Chains A and B, each alone.
Chain A
Amino acid sequence: MSVRIVVTGMGWVTPLGHDLEGVWGRMMRSECGMAPITRFDARTFPTTFAAEVRDYDVNAFVKHPQAHATAGLNSRYALGAARQAWAQAGLDERPAPSLRRVGMYLGAGEGVIDTANYFAANVAGWDASAGRVGGAWFDAAQRMLDRAREVEQEPNMPLAHLAREFGIRGPSYNCLTACAASTQAIGEACSILRRGDADAMLAGGTHTMIHPLGITGFNRLTALSTFKGDPTKASRPFDIGRDGFVMGEGSGMVVLETLEHAMARGATPLAELIGYGSSADAFRITDIQPDGRGAAAAMTQALAQAGIDPHQRLDDGRPPIQYISAHGTGTKENDSIETIGVKRVFGELAPSIPMSSIKSMMGHLIAAAGAVEFITCVQSIRHGMLPPTINYANPDPELDLDYVPNTARAAKVDTCLSNSFGFGGQNDTVIVTRWRGA
């Protein structure tokens, strides 16, 4: 492989906390971030719970609070996660020689809509006799909607805030491929580094859809769990009783660098990113290829780039991948087809590869999900521990892999694979391995 890419910094803001090791510790204890929704009154919604970020103050993370005074929640989460990653990478003490050679690739979701004012303006502008919104809407909207709050909803605003905070001036992108976005962002960031278009990239995702229209949209699609008991038991990936995903929110950010750049500035690699694959189902807008072909294509490409034969055990008998961070949403369809896809790729080795879903504990961070799951993979390697799939009570006979049920497990982990699949058929896979030195 020509250019080696290393991870030198990681950070996250999640429903389980806002610091790298604290969140990791909670996952190791099988804690769950789900509770009744507090952000708005969701008591009559089909789904009344979510995994919310709690007690978070962006000002604890930024050096220029005024520059972010109007930032939306998505940008606030991104700033906190990015500051942690920036600090761990030592970019303040051992800066990159040129911020023009530092870029960004985010899979950031849109900002939160100003629901109360937006709804009120719409109702005020409604012309009941015509059955449509009339010209009065503009009077109401100009009176009610805040200019900055509207602009902050643009999906590229997290990039603008991060640029303002860190002075980053290299190639910058935001991709929004639904639930695959931040895995794709990390993979594409690698491609940019490999090609030499930048020396370091801030990559990851940020998103929240815990607002009335977000929950409405996914409730109408019947994608969310409508579990009636304790919310912490609602997300049940791979369990036969799984009935949908639980909405989470937050951000995950990593600093990726070419090995040469990291070494030159004396940074400490945490892991090495060795494979990325991306494919499209090109099947249906609502359904996944039932044979797992799209998912398998992304995994196969990533394995090929990493130079890993999925059917070949290591010399010590372990499978070539020792942990898979599943997309594992907890919907009937995803978990079945992901299992089929993994079997398609790894054949008879599939049952020997532990595969868990942290969405059982922190919910589905949508565009940001892939980034926090990528960080989870690096943490697994560093700590020699696998995070569990909690709420796994009743196995689905069709789903017969090792889902690391309910409790964290010690394991010798060197190489992990992380999957993300998006509504609309986007499939992305990244592979990360232990840093073994230059």
Chain B
Amino acid sequence: MGRSATHVVITGLGPVCGLGVGLEPFWQALTAGTSAIRRIDRFETGSFGCPFASVLPEGFDVRTLVPKSYRKGTKVMARDIEIAVAGAHMAVQSAGLVTRGTEGATSVTIAPERFGAHIGAGLIAADIDELTSALVTSTNADGSVDLGAWGNVGMNNLTPLWLLKYLPNMLACHVTIIHDCQGPSNTITCGESSALLSLGESMRVIGRGDADACLSGGAESRVNQMGLMRNWSSGRLRAMPASAQGHELVRPFDAQACGSVLGEGGGILVVESAESAARRGKAPLAELAGFGASQSVCADTLGMDLSQTGEDIAAAIESALDDAGMTAGDIDAIVPTGCAVPEVDAGERAALERVFGARLSTLPIATVVPNAGFCGAGTGALAACAGVQMLATQSIPARLNASATPGLDAAAAASRPAALRAVLVLTTSLGGQNAAIILRRAS
């Protein structure tokens, strides 16, 4: 046992991404080595150099995943919010919890004031069609927007609650209302590290006795025009050959890696004190044994000069190991960001080499981005769901695309059984926030 006095466990998983809604399709796809990355057909991508993404399965309808009385509320949900709401629904179900959001519930199994929510979010882009249809009512002859006309009449074309679809804290807001989480709640916005930082915060809140359980994780959809452009701007997306097949594109830690592909997705996990889980007779899926975080100092504005970050990332891992009362030798598998952006992969690899030394070559790496895409604030939540499920099933999911790289067990491979005591999950963000959690096999 580590530095925490309270054992904190994971009792529910709610991954939501292109692979499906909920644990079953997610894990099945990871095990089978299926990728949801396709050419984008949700909107026209014109000359854009990387017109691929993983999007939620056809037929996804958040209205079927909220209580009937809350269906009206879904009208003010950006996609990011829908993913968080769906993830919370699946996680609560998976944990066997009964909340205000459980259809037909007459009593709940968790006290609202002891129920928290920590949900990572990204910078949510406004629906470009909705906004532009309003903007074009107020243009000058040269096509620029006439702010005078916009102020007078144009803005009235936006629904009064327009802003509330795009505030990052609306993910947690809707989730806390639906499930009646009145305890500590927070919205972490640290790019790709948002979800693991949120899991860490839930762990701390429960550890200090301020909550019994939290809905925790993150969600984001950047599969929209501005999302693509922003990730192009930061060099996370790069030009792909026109003939490319989406499912073959993402090659983490491969010398031929040529950038990432976006996905929409994320997940909510139920983080709970071991005592609370035991009280309601729920067997934990894994123990959340350790957490650590650090900041990288990155010299350039676009966050691409990551050559010096290995030591910073390693500091987060070491602090998580220390928190868990473990050493590097106790870790049997790793789920890194693995986004196939060469500079990001190199920083993570340098950190892993620093922490694990020669043993790294024998430690299986699991990757999620080749299957579900790079999901921003949701990416760590999917990685954490995978890590928990690896421990619960004692197996390593299949890996896609990557060719063999000396010193790293990360090349394409089929799923296989493995004896796993503990798994390290790691994310690094554009902006330099690094977060690591240690998951331990439930005893």
The reply to whether chain A is a binding partner of chain B is yes
CB contacts under 8 Å to A, within B210-234, are: 210, 225, 228-230, 232-234
CB contacts under 8 Å to A, within B131-167, are: 131-133, 135-136, 139, 143-145, 147-152, 155, 158-164, 166-167
Decide: A154 near B131, CB < 8 A? Known: A44-B149, A141-B229, A218-B163: no
- By the criterion CB–CB under 8 Å, are B136 and A126 in contact? yes
Residue ID in chain B nearest A64 by CB atoms: B299
- By the criterion CB–CB under 8 Å, are A212 and B225 in contact? no
Per-position binary interface string of chain B over residues 44-60, scored 1 when its CB falls under 8 Å from any chain A CB and 0 otherwise: 11111000000000000
Per-position binary interface string of chain A over residues 132-160, scored 1 when its CB falls under 8 Å from any chain B CB and 0 otherwise: 11111111011001011011111111011
The CA of A363 and the CA of B269, in the complex, are separated in Å by: 38
Asked if A406 CB lies within 8 Å of chain B CBs, one says no
Decide: A174 near B76, CB < 8 A? Known: A150-B229, A221-B164: no
Chain A residues lying within 8 Å of B145, measured Cβ to Cβ, are 116, 119-120, 123
Residue ID in chain A nearest B193 by CB atoms: A156
Chain A residues lying within 8 Å of B73, measured Cβ to Cβ, are 285
Asked if A184 CB lies within 8 Å of chain B CBs, one says yes
CB contacts under 8 Å to B, within A77-110, are: 100, 103-104, 110
Which residue among A142, A160, A281 has the maximum number of chain B CB atoms within 10 Å of its CB?
Answer: A160
The CA of A364 and the CA of B116, in the complex, are separated in Å by: 27
A interface bracket (residues with beta carbon within 8 Å of B): 35 or more
* B175 nearest CB across to chain A (Å): 9
- By the criterion CB–CB under 8 Å, are A150 and B129 in contact? no
Set A44, A123, A167: member contacting B144, Cβ < 8 A:
A123
Chain B residues lying within 8 Å of A148, measured Cβ to Cβ, are 233, 301-302
Decide: A159 near B143, CB < 8 A? Known: A154-B191, A171-B293: no
The CA of A163 and the CA of B295, in the complex, are separated in Å by: 7
Chain A residues lying within 8 Å of B46, measured Cβ to Cβ, are 134-139
Residue ID in chain A nearest B134 by CB atoms: A216
The CA of A42 and the CA of B208, in the complex, are separated in Å by: 48
* B19 nearest CB across to chain A (Å): 26
- By the criterion CB–CB under 8 Å, are A172 and B293 in contact? yes
The CA of A195 and the CA of B184, in the complex, are separated in Å by: 17
Decide: A175 near B187, CB < 8 A? Known: A120-B143, A123-B139, A133-B43: yes
Asked if A325 CB lies within 8 Å of chain B CBs, one says no
Per-position binary interface string of chain A over residues 169-180, scored 1 when its CB falls under 8 Å from any chain B CB and 0 otherwise: 111111111100
Decide: A42 near B151, CB < 8 A? Known: A138-B47, A280-B183, A282-B177: yes
The CA of A85 and the CA of B295, in the complex, are separated in Å by: 20
- By the criterion CB–CB under 8 Å, are A221 and B172 in contact? no
- By the criterion CB–CB under 8 Å, are B230 and A150 in contact? yes
Stretch at the interface among A15-23, A354-362, A388-396, A417-425: A417-425
The CA of A126 and the CA of B299, in the complex, are separated in Å by: 38
Chain A residues lying within 8 Å of B183, measured Cβ to Cβ, are 279-280
Chain A residues lying within 8 Å of B397, measured Cβ to Cβ, are none
Asked if B433 CB lies within 8 Å of chain A CBs, one says yes
Set B144, B162, B293: member contacting A119, Cβ < 8 A:
B144
Decide: A212 near B113, CB < 8 A? Known: A151-B234, A151-B301: no
Chain A residues lying within 8 Å of B162, measured Cβ to Cβ, are 216-217, 220
- By the criterion CB–CB under 8 Å, are A40 and B295 in contact? no
- By the criterion CB–CB under 8 Å, are B188 and A174 in contact? yes
Set B43, B182, B297, B299: member contacting A282, Cβ < 8 A:
B182
Decide: A103 near B136, CB < 8 A? Known: A151-B234, A425-B176: no
- By the criterion CB–CB under 8 Å, are B433 and A122 in contact? no
Set B76, B176, B292: member contacting A280, Cβ < 8 A:
B176
Chain B residues lying within 8 Å of A365, measured Cβ to Cβ, are none
- By the criterion CB–CB under 8 Å, are B303 and A160 in contact? yes
Chain A residues lying within 8 Å of B297, measured Cβ to Cβ, are 163-164, 167-169
Chain B residues lying within 8 Å of A42, measured Cβ to Cβ, are 147, 151
Per-position binary interface string of chain B over residues 271-314, scored 1 when its CB falls under 8 Å from any chain A CB and 0 otherwise: 00000000000000000000011111111011100000000100
Asked if A188 CB lies within 8 Å of chain B CBs, one says yes
Decide: A40 near B147, CB < 8 A? Known: A172-B294, A174-B189: yes
Set A40, A100, A138: member contacting B225, Cβ < 8 A:
A138
Chain B residues lying within 8 Å of A100, measured Cβ to Cβ, are 294, 315
CB contacts under 8 Å to B, within A26-50, are: 40-46
- By the criterion CB–CB under 8 Å, are A133 and B132 in contact? yes
Asked if A433 CB lies within 8 Å of chain B CBs, one says no
- By the criterion CB–CB under 8 Å, are A151 and B188 in contact? no
* A221 nearest CB across to chain B (Å): 6
* A282 nearest CB across to chain B (Å): 4
- By the criterion CB–CB under 8 Å, are B177 and A178 in contact? no
Asked if A129 CB lies within 8 Å of chain B CBs, one says no
- By the criterion CB–CB under 8 Å, are A159 and B190 in contact? yes
* A45 nearest CB across to chain B (Å): 4
Set B136, B167, B228, B298: member contacting A123, Cβ < 8 A:
B136
Stretch at the interface among B6-14, B258-266, B412-420, B424-432: B424-432
Asked if B98 CB lies within 8 Å of chain A CBs, one says no
Q: How many A-B pairs with Cβ below 8 Å? A: 292
The CA of A219 and the CA of B347, in the complex, are separated in Å by: 44
* A209 nearest CB across to chain B (Å): 10
* B21 nearest CB across to chain A (Å): 23
Asked if A125 CB lies within 8 Å of chain B CBs, one says yes
- By the criterion CB–CB under 8 Å, are B139 and A172 in contact? no
Set B143, B169, B312: member contacting A177, Cβ < 8 A:
B169
The CA of A322 and the CA of B73, in the complex, are separated in Å by: 41
Decide: A173 near B433, CB < 8 A? Known: A123-B135, A184-B186, A280-B181: yes
Set B121, B128, B182, B303: member contacting A122, Cβ < 8 A:
B128
CB contacts under 8 Å to B, within A301-330, are: 301
- By the criterion CB–CB under 8 Å, are B186 and A104 in contact? no
Set A123, A124, A221: member contacting B163, Cβ < 8 A:
A221
Chain B residues lying within 8 Å of A138, measured Cβ to Cβ, are 45-48, 225, 228-229
Set A134, A197, A222: member contacting B160, Cβ < 8 A:
A222
Asked if A397 CB lies within 8 Å of chain B CBs, one says no
Asked if A251 CB lies within 8 Å of chain B CBs, one says no
Asked if A131 CB lies within 8 Å of chain B CBs, one says yes
The CA of A284 and the CA of B201, in the complex, are separated in Å by: 24
* B438 nearest CB across to chain A (Å): 15
The CA of A46 and the CA of B156, in the complex, are separated in Å by: 11
Set B148, B174, B179: member contacting A285, Cβ < 8 A:
B174
Residue ID in chain B nearest A124 by CB atoms: B143
Asked if B39 CB lies within 8 Å of chain A CBs, one says no
Chain B residues lying within 8 Å of A167, measured Cβ to Cβ, are 297
Asked if B197 CB lies within 8 Å of chain A CBs, one says yes
Which residue among A139, A216, A423 has the maximum number of chain B CB atoms within 10 Å of its CB?
Answer: A216
Chain A residues lying within 8 Å of B343, measured Cβ to Cβ, are none
* B224 nearest CB across to chain A (Å): 10
The CA of A299 and the CA of B163, in the complex, are separated in Å by: 28
- By the criterion CB–CB under 8 Å, are B295 and A172 in contact? yes
Asked if B326 CB lies within 8 Å of chain A CBs, one says no
Chain A residues lying within 8 Å of B204, measured Cβ to Cβ, are 191-192, 195
Asked if B117 CB lies within 8 Å of chain A CBs, one says yes
Chain B residues lying within 8 Å of A212, measured Cβ to Cβ, are 147, 150
Chain A residues lying within 8 Å of B133, measured Cβ to Cβ, are 126, 131
CB contacts under 8 Å to B, within A336-363, are: none
Decide: A151 near B302, CB < 8 A? Known: A175-B187, A195-B204, A285-B174: yes
The CA of A344 and the CA of B319, in the complex, are separated in Å by: 42
- By the criterion CB–CB under 8 Å, are B299 and A67 in contact? yes
- What are 9 A-B contacts defined by CB distance under 8 Å? A45-B155, A119-B135, A123-B145, A134-B44, A145-B229, A170-B295, A176-B169, A191-B208, A425-B177
Q: A154-B431, A279-B113 are in contact. List 5 more A-B contacts (CB 8 A).
A: A123-B139, A131-B129, A160-B303, A163-B298, A282-B181
A interface residues with partner B (beta carbon < 8 Å)? 40-46, 67, 69-70, 100, 103-104, 110, 116, 119-120, 122-126, 128, 131-139, 141-142, 145, 147-148, 150-157, 159-160, 163-164, 167-178, 184, 188, 191-192, 194-197, 212-213, 216-222, 278-286, 294, 297, 301, 422-426
